[in-house]
Amino acid sequence: MHLARLLIMNFIAAGLIAGLLALPGRPAMAEDSLPLPRFVSLKSTQVNMRTGPGMRYPIEWVYQRRALPVEVIAEFDNWRQVRDSEGVMGWIHRSLLSGRRTALVTPPERMFRRAPDADAPALFRAAPGVVVNIISCDGQWCRAEQGDSTAWTRQNGLWGVYPGELIE
């Protein structure tokens, strides 16, 4: 009799715990163990940034630039708190974010070269605000793609890559 009662109580307790874990709005578990903070990019040409992690929160900002890099600084359920290059922070649903690495060219205008060397021939210049696709970074130089061109530029001239970060 006591064993049956103990089994029933354990079953009820397990059900309650499972139910609590399934409640909406709970903090996200580190399902894929991605580090925070980290850079991602916008998937769409129109992305709403909200004041909180949910559809009920007002839209604070509408981004209209696909591939723009943003920094994920917190996670809550399917929502990511992000910061943009100007320091604006808000919440974006994870379905609107991509793991593809991009970066913004920071002032002043940046030279992109044939090799990761200050003496290498210049291939093109990029103005501040230009978005480039990051191919790799060695901690000092990044190989990036802009349009049909691929070239190297100093890593410290890009927003969307951490200082000294290695990207393969």
Q: How far apart are CA 57 and CA 165, in angstroms?
A: 34
Q: What is the pLDDT of residue 32?
A: 57
Q: How far apart are CA 85 and CA 88, in angstroms?
A: 7
Q: Are strands 131-138 and 158-159 parallel, antiparallel or unpaired?
A: unpaired
Q: What is the pLDDT of residue 90?
A: 98
Q: What is the pLDDT of residue 76?
A: 97
What is the chain's pLDDT, residue by residue, as a tens digit (168 residues)?
443 443 333 433 333 333 333 333 333 344 457 999 999 999 999 999 999 999 999 999 999 999 999 999 999 999 999 999 999 999 999 999 999 999 999 999 999 999 999 999 999 999 999 999 999 999 999 999 999 999 999 999 999 999 999 999
Scored b (16 or more CB within 10 A) or e, 9-23 reads eeeeeeeeeeeeeee
Domains, the chain: 36-100 (2.30.30.40), 103-167 (2.30.30.40)
CB 82 within 8 A of CB 50: no
